[in-house]
Amino acid sequence: MASPATGDSDQVLVEANGSTRTLVLNRPKQLNALSSAMVTGLLKCFTSYEEENTVKLLIVKGKGRAFCAGGDVAEVAQSINNDTWKYGADFFHTEFLLNYIIATYSKPQVSLLTGIVMGGGAGVSIHGRFRVATGNTVFAMPETALGLFPDIGASYFLSRLPGFYGEYVGLTGARLDGAEMLACGLATHFVPLNRMPLLEESLKKVDTSDPFAICGIIDQFSQQPSVKGSSAMNRMEIINRCFSKRTVEEIISALEQEAPSVADKLVTAAIQSLRKASPTSLKISLASVSVKHFQNIILIREGRLQTVGECLRREYRMVCHVMRGDFSRDFFEGCRAILVDKDRNPKWMPRTLDQVHDGVVAKYFSKVDDPQWEDLNLPTRSSHGRRIVPKL
């Protein structure tokens, strides 16, 4: 019998079965988009269950046709417009703390990734030990189309994908299926959709926190699917050649040079996605996920050199600047065009990549100029005298 995770909200439900706790994301009409109440409820659950000796395994799943379609950024944008940017800062502070607790959790977590897994949904799953994709899984990080950037520690896990696949996924918002998630490492297992209920029932009977035992149970239901012939995983030579470039402009130019000689929808779709995305979002996203290439900036590429905690601290600085609209209001325009008015015609400012200068990009990585603002303070994590390290 499921019960609310907290007394004031039923948006996260908890099912108790022996030593297993199943956390159910329960906003099916909103595709389980993470509200402030959900993030707070999940954080309370993860924190309390880590201390309870009787709880040995956590399962996370979504109700309905989505695991989680991301954070409820429309709610965040509306609250900022009605009140103050600090509402957004508080939301992301709690969410990033939750991401960090999951990434360094001392007990195994199994995320059952049925349906849509995007943005914040990746944050509450990809950092966990076991990520089980299936036949209807759809994964994406679509933030650049919203005037945001891949956050929730994405600069940590995207930068650790094969080659420059993380740059491709993070910049274009490309959608991956379950087989592709497994092939690139975002998923640890693939279980056919009709066997997912059987896996869940088996996991609810376990009485151990031994990750090898848990892995053995999942293995009994797993398959090794082949990726489709059209998959980007079969185009890694092109992806590495293009997305290894130093700037977004050079990436687009490389893709355009490939287009005439490669009759490939992937190249055309990538160019179109990059052309439609926020120029500011593209530039700060590439810097965050990449290796150092100018000054001291490193989002997807900076993430290659950093711990998950360092990535989240840097992303928190970035998201606070975005919430304040310090250098661009693209986040609010993207929410308007994509999520509110749904005309899908955002008016980005600046309009072009060449108008987004390196000096402005660098400012997103700086501290916020507000006496009441503080950097993201993450706790030191340890278990039985052992410092906990991320599992990715």
Q: Give the other-Cβ count within 10 Å of 221's Cβ.
A: 18
Point out which residues pair with 68 in neighbouring strands. 117
DSSP label of 378: P
* 334 carries an active-site annotation: no
**Residue in 62, 115, 120, 121 annotated catalytic:** 120
Half-sphere exposure of 194 (CA within 13 A, CB side): 0
* 200 carries an active-site annotation: no
* 143 carries an active-site annotation: yes
* 177 carries an active-site annotation: no
What token pair was written down for 288?
């965050």
Question: What one-character-per-residue DSSP string does 136-184 give?
Answer: T-EEE--GGGGT----TTHHHHGGGSSTTHHHHHHHH---EEHHHHHHH
CB of 98 within 8 A of CB of 12? no
Taking the mean position of all CA atoms in its chain, how far away is CA 355?
Answer: 28
**Residue in 75, 95, 143, 258 annotated catalytic:** 143
Strands 138-140 and 116-118: parallel
Residue 324 CA to residue 364 CA, distance in Å, equals 11
- The residues, ordered by sequence, that sit 6+ positions from 383 with a Cβ below 8 Å of its Cβ are 106
Provide the residue type at 49 as one letter.
Y
**Residue in 75, 151, 180, 333 annotated catalytic:** 151
CB of 103 within 8 A of CB of 96? no
**Residue in 41, 62, 71, 123 annotated catalytic:** 71
- Give the residue numbers marked as catalytic: 71, 120, 143, 151
